[in-house]
Structure formats: C-alpha cells, structure tokens
C-alpha cells in the first residue's frame, strides 16, 4: 500500500528519496512523487505509474534540496493520476504533505476550507491536511500539525515539510505505520524500514497518537498535547540482501526457494524432540494461564486466514480446545462471544493489516488475551499483542505470500504442541509431531529440486481461464490458498472448495476446459478424495493431482501428477502448498505478468 520516505540532512535528498521509494515498490502503488526544500521554496515532482516515470519527470526538470518527503500512492480517493499523486500542497505552496491512510471526514473539512477561500486541485482526502495546516500555521510547523490533526477523523501516517519552518520534518501516526531512522548528522522518516535500511539500522517506531519532529541533529517524539515521550531505539538485524532478488527473476520465486531455510528459522530452538514439546519464549503466558483457556479465536485476512483454518484443525484435534476462525474484517464489527477464558490468536505477515490490528484491539477490549503470529519484527501487531511467536521468515517482498504461509503453519504446529502437551497430548504423540517437523526442511528441498516438473505442468495451462482446487481435511485450506495464489498473480479465475462439496454446485462447471487441482496426499481422507477425483474425471475435467505415493486407485483418473514427500496429516499443508505456489508462479511468469506486483494489490493492506 502507500509508502512514505523522508530525509533531513546535508546531502542532496533527491536520489536518496527516489531510491527509498524503489525499496517500497513491492508494497503496490500506482503513482509517486517527491517534494524538496529547494533554496527557500518547496519544489515537487509527481508522476502516474512506476517510479521510472517519476525519475523521468525529475530528469526533465531537476530538483534538489536536503530536506524532503516522498510517497508512493495506492489510489483510494480519486483515480491514479499526476494530480492525485502525493505530496499535496496548500494554496500558497508553502506546505507539502504525504499521507498513508484515510481521512474519513474529508468531505465536510473540504467544504469548510472552501468556504474560507481555500482552493483544491485534487480529488484526494489528503489535500485537506495541507490546507488545514496552512490555516493553522503561525510560526511553528508542529503546532500547526497538532491543530490540524485535532479536526481530523480517520487514519493517518503523515510527513510534512513547510518552507516557513524549513529545517524539519513533522510526522504523525494514527493507524498507519511510521518510523524514524537515525543517522549521523541526518535523519529519516519511513513507513517501512526497507526504505532506509541502506542508510541506518537504528529506528524508532512511532505508536498511534504520537508525532515526531525530526531535524538533522535529532528528533523529539511527543503526544498530541505536546508532552515528550521517551522512545526505545531498535536495531534492525536483517541485511539488505534479504530485500534483493539474489539472482532470481522474481522475489516470489526467491521466496518460494527460501522455504527450507525459513522453516528452519521458524523452528530454531523451539522444537524439543526428547520431550515432544515446544519452547515458545514470547508467549508471556504462564503454564496456568495456558491451561485456563477453553476457547480460542484465530483472526486474520487472506493467506494468513488460510493458515488460521489449518491452525484450528490442529488445535481442536491435538489440544482439544474449541477454536473458531474469523475474518478480521468481520470479527471487528460483530458482537463476538469473548470471555477471560478466550485466547485470541492474530496472524499477520506484515503485522500492519488494518482489519487484523483492529480485530486484535477489539478482542483485547473485550477481555481476551492476544497472541500475535507475526513476521515483521517491530510491527504494530507485534508491539501491541500480549505475547507472540515471531515467524522469522525474513522480509517477504513478493505481494503473493509464500514463505510466510508455511512459517505460519509451522508456528501454529509449535503452538499446538505447547497447548496439547499441557492437556491430553502424550510425550509419544508430541514426539511424532517434533520428528515430523524436523524433517520438513529436507522434504521441502526435495520438492524444490523437482520444480521443473511443475513448470512443465504449468506450460499446459497458461491459457486456462478457470481453475478449481479441491482438498479435504487439512488440505481444504490449501485448496483455498492454491486458488488465491493463482488468481492474485495470473488473473485466472480460481476457486477452492472442500472436495466433497463440489457435488453441491461447482460440479456444474466441469468440462474438458476446467483444470481441477486435487490436493491428495496419502492421509486419513485420501480414499474419500479418490471418489471425488472419479466424479471429475467422469465429466471430462482435466485433473492435476498432488499425491504422496504410488496410488493404484488413481490409475487412469489423473492427467498430471506431482509427488510430495509423506508427513503427518497436520503438516501436509506445509508440503502440499509449495507445488501450488510454483504452479501459480510459473503460469503467471509464462503469461508475462508482473508477478511481484500484481495489479490492484498491495503487500500490506493498511486501510479498511
Ligand atoms: O500481512 P498479512 O498477513 O496480515 O496480510 C493479509 C493479506 O492481505 C495477505 O495474506 C494477502 O491475502 C496476500 N496477498 C496473499 O498472497
């Protein structure tokens, strides 16, 4: 989603800001812009489309300056065009604002400002901020920003510069991530650490309701009543190569191939084989508290919601705790039953998804303890949950989530072990799980070594217009995930269903043009899935099967087959998801599509 970078120092900020924007490209955007304090006034360049277009605009009319802000926009109010791109200005051109989030009352504010003589040039909600700051400005930018924000309803992460108070950036946060990067004689603002990691590893995360005044020599964080807040400086410990392609054609492919390592990282030091137990230091819950819960709600969006469905099955089967899965966007506006015996597990790769964050806050408000399964270290969910399990999968840049999904499933398995062993799960049963977990990295490598087989299958389906994904038990959520991967990056319509549910409607779609992917490893429901394969084949459908051994019962019923290694039922999704990630990837790449930044999508959805 939208991205923010800001710089205040003594270097020319132009290329520094544009490079920062490039690091945020993965988040998804449709236009970009930059403003710099240029010899007393503010100069701005903007462009629709990719950052290369912005570079061209700067190339034909260069700007420079050592205080500046820049933005990648993902359109919400008004179409993606140069005028609606950020930064936005006031009437006199002395204030420049970039904004992530949504100003909900921008309509009445705009009408009020127009009545007092302000002229608007864009369709955006953001432009009201520039005019409000202009109207409130006396001689100090931070005071004007405080006064302006007092009138605003909605969410924001903003960075503001002003030529009448020129040596600073003022930033403020409510619901949209923002951090300060600390350098030597220079400082930064960013919505995502990737934008500034090239320059500094030391960052201060802003929390909701906080604002910062950032100058060359320092920073001050305060609340909206101007009370200073002491903040912790965090050190980022991952390297820039983690956000580079490392020889792969796309980030998505790189991230798929990283999975033997990322799974290892999720498990490191946490799976204790001799006791069939897991050690999860970050839960912040005592043994008694863990035994006290009799109800679990798992809430998430998208791919993370699919892993939540797998988590529910694991927890109910092995820990025997009643468990519900809720879309975060629905949970936050329902009247859910939550008690002090409820544990709310929140799953999010980015840790910034607006709906998931709001659902977690709602669960907390209703008295539940919250646990975050989050990948992005230092993200808002990770900072606001009561405890959690970091996925340690490393930065995920491809918009389509891959390695985060498999790490989520492994983290849920570790949590299931913890909860189960405190209840009915025996040491022997626990060891079956820990031993199966330990084998996963090698088994994933085995699948990846045969990626060429999937590429060949993909070649037969690049012109498909529809796909059906079917699975049962633990592999039903994998069917949903396989379909989501395909539709996100290849724009082919795809649906996931529980295999037996097909008879209740989707079977009407099956003909020789309908590819059907069956996720059919040899598990407790395999024989049932065979009957469903038979039903598809009888209607002429083309069957691609993900199996795990030679199955005579499938002879003559499948057109394409890919074998995955065998594991226990609850861990099958970790292995069966990978060929589906590859299938989606190869189909999209063969169609010549922008795999890492599919149209209309954003990596981190920070608006409702
Ligand atoms: O960062 P989160 O895990 O909270 O994101 C949730 C969804 O937006 C995300 O999984 C989305 O569905 C991905 N594009 C799936 O590939």
Residue whose CB lies within 8 A of the most ligand 1 atoms, among 255, 307, 346, 349, for a mutation test: 349
Ligand 1 center to residue 303 CA distance, Å?
5
Q: What percent of the chain has pLDDT over 90?
A: 82
CB 400 near ligand 1, within 6 Å: yes
Is there a contact between 594 and 545 (Cβ–Cβ < 8 Å)?
Answer: no
579 located within any domain: yes
Residue whose CB lies within 8 A of the most ligand 1 atoms, among 304, 357, 380, 597, for a mutation test: 304
83 located within any domain: yes
Q: What is the pLDDT of residues 135-156, one digit of tens each?
A: 999 999 999 999 999 999 999 9
Region at 546 (left for phi over 0; alpha for psi -120 to 50; beta for the rest)? beta
92 located within any domain: yes
pLDDT (0 to 100) of residue 30: 87
Can you tell me the distance from the alpha carbon of 47 to that of 71, in angstroms, rounded to the nearest whole number?
11
Residue 243 pLDDT exceeds 90: no
Q: How would DSSP label each residue in 504-524?
A: GTGGGG-STT-EEEEE--SST
pLDDT band at 169 (very low <50, low <70, confident <90, very high): very high
Q: Could you give the number of structural domains in the chain? A: 3
Atom of ligand 1 nearest to the CA of 602: 14
Same domain, 396 and 428: yes
pLDDT (0 to 100) of residue 28: 75
Same domain, 201 and 258: no
Residues paired with 550 in a beta bridge: none
pLDDT (0 to 100) of residue 422: 94
489 located within any domain: yes
Structure tokens at 299: 């809430």
CB 345 near ligand 1, within 6 Å: no
CB proximity list for 163: less than 8 A, separation 6 or greater: 37, 40, 41, 42, 93, 94
CB 329 near ligand 1, within 6 Å: no
pLDDT (0 to 100) of residue 311: 98
The one-character DSSP state at 103 is B
Report the pLDDT averaged over residues 313-338: 93
Query: How large is the greatest C-alpha to C-alpha distance in the chain, in angstroms?
Result: 81
Same domain, 476 and 402: no
Ligand 1 center to residue 340 CA distance, Å?
29
Can you tell me the distance from the alpha carbon of 195 to that of 211, in angstroms, rounded to the nearest whole number?
20
Same domain, 186 and 309: no
529 located within any domain: yes
Same domain, 411 and 465: no
Same domain, 563 and 606: yes
Residue whose CB lies within 8 A of the most ligand 1 atoms, among 301, 390, 400, 405, for a mutation test: 301
Same domain, 431 and 496: no
CB 122 near ligand 1, within 6 Å: no
> Which CATH number is 34's domain given?
3.60.20.10
**Among candidate residues 396, 418, 447, the one where a domain is terminated:** 447
242 located within any domain: no
Can you tell me the distance from the alpha carbon of 31 to that of 26, in angstroms, rounded to the nearest whole number?
13
Q: How far is CA 413 from CA 287, 406, 568, in A?
A: 18, 11, 11
Residue 507 pLDDT exceeds 90: no
Counted residue by residue, the chain has a size of 608
CB 350 near ligand 1, within 6 Å: yes
CB 380 near ligand 1, within 6 Å: no
Ligand 1 center to residue 21 CA distance, Å?
21
Could you identify the residue written with the tokens 């270097």? 11
Mean pLDDT over the full length of the chain: 94
Map 169-234 to HEC letters.
EEEEEEECCCEEEECCCCEEEECCHHHCCCCCCEEEECCCCEEEEECCCCEEEEECCCCECCCCCE
79 located within any domain: yes
CB 401 near ligand 1, within 6 Å: yes
Can you tell me the distance from the alpha carbon of 534 to that of 107, in angstroms, rounded to the nearest whole number?
58
Can you tell me the distance from the alpha carbon of 153 to that of 103, in angstroms, rounded to the nearest whole number?
6
Is there a contact between 403 and 582 (Cβ–Cβ < 8 Å)?
Answer: no
pLDDT (0 to 100) of residue 241: 74
Residue nearest to atom 7 of ligand 1 (CA): 302
Residue nearest to atom 14 of ligand 1 (CA): 400
Can you tell me the distance from the alpha carbon of 2 to that of 26, in angstroms, rounded to the nearest whole number?
10
Is there a contact between 164 and 96 (Cβ–Cβ < 8 Å)?
Answer: no
Residue nearest to atom 11 of ligand 1 (CA): 302
Same domain, 147 and 167: yes
Ligand 1 center to residue 155 CA distance, Å?
20
Report the pLDDT averaged over residues 151-177: 95
Residue whose CB lies within 8 A of the most ligand 1 atoms, among 605, 606, 607, for a mutation test: 605
**Among candidate residues 389, 417, 447, the one where a domain is terminated:** 447
**Among candidate residues 418, 447, 476, the one where a domain is terminated:** 447
The one-character DSSP state at 87 is P
CB 349 near ligand 1, within 6 Å: yes
CB 581 near ligand 1, within 6 Å: no
CB 604 near ligand 1, within 6 Å: yes
> Which CATH number is 404's domain given?
3.40.50.10490
Q: What percent of the chain has pLDDT over 70?
A: 100
Ligand 1 center to residue 603 CA distance, Å?
7
Ligand 1 center to residue 535 CA distance, Å?
33
Same domain, 220 and 274: no
Q: How far is CA 187 from CA 162, 167, 200, 209, in A?
A: 17, 12, 9, 21
pTM of the model: 0.84
Same domain, 380 and 474: no
CB 304 near ligand 1, within 6 Å: yes
Active site residues: 2, 603
Domain extent for 605: 450-608
Ligand 1 center to residue 38 CA distance, Å?
39
Structure tokens at 39: 């010899």
Report the pLDDT averaged over residues 416-443: 96
Same domain, 272 and 261: yes
Is there a contact between 444 and 565 (Cβ–Cβ < 8 Å)?
Answer: no
pLDDT (0 to 100) of residue 447: 98
Give the three-state DSSP class for 322.
strand
Nearest to 322 by CA among 419, 390, 417: 419
Distance separating the N- and C-terminal Cα atoms of the chain: 12
Can you tell me the distance from the alpha carbon of 297 to that of 53, in angstroms, rounded to the nearest whole number?
45
**Distance, CA of 93 to chain centre:** 35
Residue nearest to atom 12 of ligand 1 (CA): 302
Residue nearest to atom 9 of ligand 1 (CA): 302
The one-character DSSP state at 462 is T
243 located within any domain: no
Ligand 1 center to residue 512 CA distance, Å?
33
Residues paired with 181 in a beta bridge: 188, 203
Q: What is the pLDDT of residues 175-212, one digit of tens each?
A: 889 999 999 999 999 999 999 999 999 999 999 999 99
Is there a contact between 411 and 266 (Cβ–Cβ < 8 Å)?
Answer: yes
pLDDT (0 to 100) of residue 37: 94
Same domain, 147 and 68: yes
Give the three-state DSSP class for 383.
helix
Query: Checking DSSP bridges between strand 322-327 and strand 295-300, what pairing results, if any?
Result: parallel
The one-character DSSP state at 473 is G
Could you identify the residue written with the tokens 């290694």? 565
Atom of ligand 1 nearest to the CA of 603: 14
Residues paired with 516 in a beta bridge: 468, 543
pLDDT (0 to 100) of residue 366: 93
């Amino acid at each position: 989603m939208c991205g923010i970078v800001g710089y205040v120092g003594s270097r020319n900020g132009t290329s520094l800001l544009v490079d920062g924007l490039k690091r945020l490209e993965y988040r998804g955007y449709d236009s970009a812009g930059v403003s710099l304090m240029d010899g007393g006034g503010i100069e701005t360049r903007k462009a629709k489309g990719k950052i290369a277009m912005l570079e061209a605009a700067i190339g034909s009319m260069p700007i420079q300056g050592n205080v500046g802000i820049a933005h990648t926009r993902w359109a919400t109010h008004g179409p993606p065009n140069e005028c609606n791109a950020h930064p936005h200005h006031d009437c006199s051109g002395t204030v420049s604002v970039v904004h992530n989030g949504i100003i909900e009352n921008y309509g009445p504010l705009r009408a009020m400002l127009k009545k007092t003589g302000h002229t608007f040039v864009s369709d955006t909600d953001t432009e009201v901020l520039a005019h409000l700051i202009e109207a409130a400005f006396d001689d100090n930018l931070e005071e004007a920003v405080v006064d302006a924000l007092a009138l605003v309803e909605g969410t924001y992460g903003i960075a503001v510069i002003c030529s009448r108070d020129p040596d600073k950036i003022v930033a403020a946060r409510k619901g949209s991530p923002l951090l300060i990067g600390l350098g030597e004689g220079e400082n930064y603002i960013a919505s995502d650490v990737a934008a500034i990691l090239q320059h500094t590893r030391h960052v201060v995360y802003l929390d909701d309701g906080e604002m910062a005044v950032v100058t060359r020599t320092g920073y001050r964080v305060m609340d909206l009543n101007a009370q200073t807040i002491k903040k912790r400086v965090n050190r980022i410990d991952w390297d820039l190569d983690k956000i580079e392609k490392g020889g792969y054609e796309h980030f998505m492919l790189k991230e798929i191939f990283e999975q033997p390592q990322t799974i290892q990282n999720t498990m490191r030091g946490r799976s204790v084989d001799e006791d069939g137990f897991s050690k999860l230091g970050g839960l912040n819950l005592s043994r008694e508290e863990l035994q006290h819960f009799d109800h679990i709600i798992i809430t998430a969006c998208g791919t993370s919601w699919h892993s939540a469905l797998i988590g529910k099955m694991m927890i109910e089967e092995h820990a025997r705790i009643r468990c519900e899965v809720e879309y975060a966007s629905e949970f936050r506006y329902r009247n859910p039953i939550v008690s002090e015996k409820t544990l709310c597990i929140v799953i999010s790769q980015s840790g910034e998804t607006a709906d998931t964050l709001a659902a977690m806050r709602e669960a907390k408000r209703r008295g539940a303890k919250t646990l975050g399964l989050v990948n992005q270290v230092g993200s808002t969910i990770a900072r606001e949950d009561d405890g959690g399990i970091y996925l340690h999968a490393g930065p995920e840049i491809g918009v389509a989530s891959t390695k985060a999904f498999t790490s989520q499933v492994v983290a849920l398995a570790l949590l299931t072990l913890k909860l189960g062993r405190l209840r009915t799960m025996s040491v022997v049963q626990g060891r079956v799980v820990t031993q199966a977990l330990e084998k996963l990295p090698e088994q994933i490598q085995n699948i990846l070594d045969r990626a060429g087989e999937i590429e060949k299958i993909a070649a037969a389906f690049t012109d498909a217009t529809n796909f059906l994904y079917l699975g049962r038990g633990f592999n039903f959520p994998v069917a949903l995930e396989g379909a989501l991967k395909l539709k996100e990056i290849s724009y082919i319509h795809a649906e996931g269903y529980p295999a037996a549910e097909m008879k209740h409607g989707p079977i009407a779609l099956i003909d020789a043009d309908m590819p059907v992917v069956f996720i059919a490893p040899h598990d407790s429901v395999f024989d049932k899935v065979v009957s469903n394969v038979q039903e598809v084949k009888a209607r002429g459908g083309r069957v691609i099967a993900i199996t795990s051994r030679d199955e005579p019962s499938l002879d003559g019923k499948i057109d394409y087959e890919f074998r995955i290694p065998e594991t226990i039922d609850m861990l099958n999704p970790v292995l069966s998801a990978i060929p589906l990630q590859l299938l989606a990837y190869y189909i999209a790449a063969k169609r010549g599509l922008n795999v890492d930044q599919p149209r209309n999508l954003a990596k981190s959805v920070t608006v409702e």
